[in-house]
Structures are given as C-alpha cells and as structure tokens.
Amino acid sequence: MTPLNFRPQQAWGELLLRWWHELAEDTGGRASLRRAPDITAVVMLPAFQRLHRRLSSVGWPDQPRHNDRLAAATGLLAHVREHGDRTLPQAMSEGEKPCVSPLRFQRLLESPDDDALFAGLRRTLPMIQHRTDVLALATDVVNWGDAVKKRWAYAYEWPAKAGG
C-alpha cells in the first residue's frame, strides 16, 4: 500500500497546515477535539468533518481505515500548540534524560490498535510541550504500521545503559 503523505507545497500538506492554523482561531472546535476521548468521538465533530471534506476535494482516499487514522491525527493535532521541526520520536527522546522513557516509548510502538495509539500519543504530547512537526505527526499516524514503527525506533535516541 502506498503511504499517504502530508508534505509542504503539496495539496494535502497545505490544506492540513491551513486547517491547523485556523484551529487556533476556532477555540470551540479545538476544545471539542481536545476533549474527544477516542477516534469515534473525533469523527463526529464539525472541525474534523471540515478537514475531511477539504482533503476529499483534492483526492483523499475515502476508505474507513484512512478516515479513522485521519481522525486520530486530527484529534492529536488539536493538542499541538507549536509546529516545529522535530518529529515525535526526536522530541520524545531529547535531553539528558528523555521526557518519554524508553519503556513508555516501547509501549507506544506496541499499541494494539488505533484507539490505544491515539490515547498514548495524546498523553505524550504534554511531555514534549505540545511541540512537534505537524505534517510528520499526521503522516505517521495515518500510515501507522511496521514501517513507521521501525523508523520511530531508529529515530528515538535510546539512552545509554547506566554503567554499560
């Protein structure tokens, strides 16, 4: 299956970034997305439906799996306050002592389903000061699977074992 990518200077990427910037002004929509406890709740919100319609108008593949993962990414993006150049695994492992422990990071990689991944990442975003690459987050969540998990495992700065 061909990965779905959100990139700058590409229709999906530009639409997603524009929507994310507009979300800062839509405080009600942002708050509703932030309170959504799971992917199903996100799907039922107008802020998600607006993004979905915009993406569909430029060729988003309207398939349940893609739509659910887009909803997960959308719910998570409502928690991102600052678009930066760090991917999630980079942000989670920064510092002398990573803000997301290796054990917690491994648990994220082992999420049994999309709702578990959504919940785990939602709890992780405050640990990285709500700052990450918006397009990378959306791309990775939409394409979640072995390839993304491996890329994340390589990108995470695993701490050296004490005394080793």
pLDDT tens-place string over residues 58-70: 999 989 999 999 9
pLDDT greater than 50 at residue 36: yes
User: 69-93 burial by CB neighbour count: b if 16+ within 10 A, else e?
Assistant: bbbbbbbbbbbbeebbebbbbbbbb
Of 2.40.160.20, 1.10.520.40, 2.40.50.40, 3.40.640.10, the CATH number of 11-155 is 1.10.520.40
Question: For the residues 88-109, what does the mean pLDDT come to?
Answer: 93
For the entire predicted model, the pTM comes to 0.94
Q: Which residue has the tokens 């890329």?
A: 151
pLDDT greater than 50 at residue 163: no
Q: Report pLDDT digits (tens) over 134-159.
A: 999 999 999 999 999 999 999 999 98
Position 160 confidence tier, pLDDT thresholds 50, 70, 90: confident
